């Protein structure tokens, strides 16, 4: 079975251009399934043909009993479906047994959206003294809210990806797909101020990286999460605020201000519009406003009671 797993890993990395995080999750789920199958069948899992729907259901029931949440269970089943689909295309299987197993229903709570005043309070980082780290943090927070980019996309930015004159960033998203995002005057000024001190780090270990840590290396996703949490505590907004919170605020505030869903889809880098629809939480006030303006029978004159 290890031969098949290795071939699948190569497929993910070379053909799908999957991120290291995605590959790691796929293989972790699959190895967990193989270990379960070995114990459940009391023999090694030698061929893909041994993988039957009943075995997959028993695996999901076991991990659920161990406390695994619905979302994680759905991901594990998705990993198995992708793996068996790959083997089917390679001619090792005639049927994808995981397709005959129902996906566990996931409970998706509505995401919490930071009000505009809380976002502005977070972005209002102290400017005195203009320490390099504060200038960096201010530029990062402004770019998150101005562009809606993911934290992985932000830490992957190089100096050459930012065009201050045009107010654009070249971003490499999921699957190494590139897209262009925009930022306004405030974010541009914050980025320009940071770049002035960034250029002084000529001995930096990573000369191409846009955002550096205190050692001069490329800033990590963990480092970005920590700085967002630090400034959230300073501001007094919920400490659960994360880079993804700002991405969601970007999308929701655009939608509430009249931006269309297709444009937001492009800016967020979503391949499917359905992803954007699930991701963006529309406020009730906005829905009612659109209804009142658009529906012929909803319009009233000033004299109507």
Q: Which of 64, 172, 179, 279 is flagged as catalytic?
A: 279
Q: Looking at the structure, do residues 94 and 127 belong to the same domain, yes or no? A: no
Which is higher by pLDDT, 142 or 70? 142
Alpha-carbon gap, residue 226 to 26, rounded angstroms: 27
The answer to whether position 300 is within a domain reads no
Question: pLDDT at position 203, please?
Answer: 57
Query: Are 11 and 122 in a shared domain?
Result: no
Count structural domains, the chain. 2
Whether residue 150 is found in the same domain as residue 209: yes
- Judge if 284 and 233 occupy the same domain: yes
Cα separation, 184 vs 22, whole angstroms: 32
Asked if 88 and 188 sit in the same domain, the reply is no
252 and 191, same structural domain?
A: yes
Query: Per DSSP, what are the bridge partners of residue 162?
Result: 169
CATH number for the domain that contains residue 82: 1.10.150.130
Q: Given 138, 231, 248, 270, which residue is catalytic?
A: 270
Identify the active-site residue in 198, 231, 247, 248: 247
Domain span at residue 53?
A: 2-100
Residue 305 counted as domain residue: no
**Shared domain check, 176 and 225:** yes
Given 150, 218, 248, 253, the catalytic residue: 150
Q: Indicate if 174 belongs to the active site.
A: yes
User: Is residue 247 annotated as a catalytic residue, yes or no?
Assistant: yes
> Model pTM?
0.60
* Options 40, 70, 174, 179, the catalytic residue: 174
For residues 153 and 279, state if they share a domain.
yes
What is the percentage of the chain residues whose pLDDT exceeds 70? Answer: 84
Q: Which residue has the tokens 């201000």?
A: 257
For residues 193 and 136, what is the distance between their CA atoms, to the nearest angstrom? Answer: 9
Domain stop point among 54, 69, 100? 100
Q: Is 150 an annotated catalytic residue?
A: yes
- Kind of pairing between the strands at 162-163 and 178-182: unpaired
Residue of 229, 244, 281, 286 marked catalytic: 244
Please give the Cα distance from 142 to 156 (Å, whole number).
17
**Sheet bearing 178-182, strands edge to edge:** 162-163, 168-172, 178-182
CATH of residue 270: 1.10.443.10
124 in the same domain as 92: no
**Placement of tokens 């290291």 in the chain:** 20
Q: What are 16-62's pLDDT values in tens digits?
A: 888 888 899 999 999 999 999 989 888 888 888 889 999 999 999 99
- Confidence check: pLDDT of 127 > 60: no
pLDDT, tens digit, 9 for 90 and up, residues 7-18? 999 999 998 888
């Amino acid at each position: 079975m290890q031969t098949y797993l290795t071939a699948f890993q190569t497929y993910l990395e070379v053909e799908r251009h999957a991120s290291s995080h995605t590959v790691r999750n796929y293989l972790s789920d699959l190895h967990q399934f193989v270990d379960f199958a070995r114990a459940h069948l009391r023999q090694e899992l030698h061929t893909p043909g041994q993988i039957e729907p009943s075995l997959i259901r028993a695996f999901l029931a076991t991990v659920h009993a161990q406390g695994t949440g619905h979302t994680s269970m759905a991901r594990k089943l998705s990993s198995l479906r992708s793996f068996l689909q790959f083997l089917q295309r390679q001619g090792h299987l005639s049927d994808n047994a995981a397709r005959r197993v129902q996906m566990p229903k996931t409970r998706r709570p509505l995401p919490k959206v930071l009000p505009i005043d809380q976002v502005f309070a977070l972005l209002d980082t102290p400017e005195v003294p203009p320490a390099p780290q504060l200038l960096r943090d201010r530029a990062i927070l402004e770019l998150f809210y101005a562009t809606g980019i993911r934290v992985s996309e932000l830490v992957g930015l190089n100096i050459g990806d930012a065009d201050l004159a045009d107010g654009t960033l070249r971003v490499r998203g999921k699957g190494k797909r590139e897209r262009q995002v925009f930022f306004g005057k405030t974010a541009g000024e914050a980025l320009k101020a940071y770049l002035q001190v960034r250029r002084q780090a000529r001995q930096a270990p990573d000369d191409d990286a846009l955002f550096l840590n205190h050692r001069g290396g490329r800033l990590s996703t963990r480092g970005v999460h920590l700085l967002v949490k630090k400034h959230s505590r300073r501001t007094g907004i919920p400490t659960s605020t994360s880079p993804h919170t700002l991405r969601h605020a970007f999308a929701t505030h655009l939608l509430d201000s009249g931006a269309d869903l297709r444009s937001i889809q492009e800016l967020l880098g979503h391949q499917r519009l359905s992803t954007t629809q699930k991701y963006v939480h529309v406020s009730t006030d906005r829905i009612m406003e659109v209804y009142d303006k658009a529906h012929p029978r909803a319009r009233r004159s000033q004299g109507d009671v």
